[in-house]
Structure 1
Amino acid sequence: MLGPADVRVLADRLGLRPTKKLGQNFVHDANTVRRIVKASGIGPDDVVLEVGPGLGSLTLGLLPGAARVHAVEIDPALAGLLAETVADRAPGLAERLTVTGADALRVGAAELAADAGPGAGVPTAIVANLPYNVAVPVLLHLLAELPGIERGLVMVQAEVADRLAARPGSREYGAPSAKLAWYADARRAGPVPRAVFWPVPGVDSGLLHFARHDPPTGTDRAATFAVIEAAFAQRRKALRGALAGWAGSPAAAETALRAAGIDPTTRAERLSVADFARVAQSRVVQP
């Protein structure tokens, strides 16, 4: 694994100055890497997708316990260096690594499969220190794009982990919580101290564990997400008003809500993703 001195040497070699734009904060603490790998629950049959591998600290920790690690890195210099770092520090595991130089917000299943090659297997788990500025859209995109992902452990900003793991009725519950719940059950898996990163971030970090489940039945994801977005765009309003634009009028929103068995005076934070799905479906079946 990479310690603080190793991280600095590799960064200097590239002339790298970490940028906020790319969310570059590199983990350099071996105990933190071991903790992440253990908490992820990955095993020898897993193909792990790592987003934003950076200089390779977590990659080196993941390779011994997984069948393969498929790393997606947007920075061309870092993507180019990763395979070399693994070959130098873990030569016996280098064949388990695939690197895709791409934006994780746009990468698709076909691109990943082409880079991995025949017989490599589809990703079954995500384990990553996600770029904090795009963590939520990246996670939702990958879960939509890669149905083979069964579970994962991601490091994100602490308040984002709180939001993603929040349950209906809590203060942190919002559109990201409900959208992630379409795909998976999520829970907080502990804090991560600022001192394990270089450079030291200005925010607290946390681990989020998730396990995929079947989505609600009766409607599709796009329709349900449209309801979620409309409801939380005006979360202080009762749903009759918050969904007026989505439904066409307050009266139409009330009709859809009542058809779904939901009180029109309820606010968005009280509804589960299954509730939102029923509202979306009730609008579809109205004459």
Structure 2
Amino acid sequence: MHKRIVFLVAALLFSLLAVMAVIITDLHDRFFPEALGARASVRLDCSRSGLSDEEAFRQLGRLSDGLGLGLVKLVPELDGDRSGQVFVAVGSAASLPETIQRFGNQPDGRVRGPEALAASLATGTYYVTGDTAGLAAFRAWLDEHGVDQHWNDDNVRTILEWLVRQREFGTAVTSGVALMASLALYWLAVKARGRALRVLGGVSTWRTQYEDLGGFLLPLAAAAVLCDVVAIPYVGGPTAGSSCRTTPRSFSSSRRPSC
């Protein structure tokens, strides 16, 4: 009976952990689209640089190709219900799919060539999908030309900063800690009398603790396996395997907006 209670509470606990995994994966895919291969994102403000939008795109495309950055600009979806996103390659050397899958209930993103920047502003969010070795030179160029930049790197610190702002994540963490503490206290309470009697009967203290710990961990492990079987296909399925639905394509330089 006690093991069944531990199993049920542990299943609820691991379900909360699965919810936390969904939140983390969803946030990560929103800020760094997994199927796009984004390694960093930057918010550029070209309003004080003195560069026209056409000139800014031309220079950014040259830098993207020359440094192998694979810059992609994020623009809103203006067709349909306008809830999607469009990713526009800034340079001509990028090899990207035509459509990328997003995690959860996010609509799939469309990928366009540099010609889609003709009516766009240079100010906005850009993703680095290529080699990050040239980021130092790229940042130096932005500083030299007076372009304001705000970077977000794909690392643990950035993800933790996002998570702190999410109320749902804090609720899941608090609930998980409370459940784990309650579960441990419950098991210690129901086994206290049995442990005392076994010790008085001459059973080794270490053996008593070992057997109690094994009886506690067994339903925990069973609940963990069950939750993993249910959660892994959902958390890892949408973006696992092939990250695109079409063959990657390269954008010809002749399709870049004219200056």
TM-score (norm 2): 0.26
Specify which structure has the bigger relative contact order, considering alpha-carbon pairs within 8 angstroms and separated by 6 or more residues.
Answer: 2
Q: Greater Rg, structure 1 or structure 2?
A: 2
Pick the structure with more helix per residue: 2
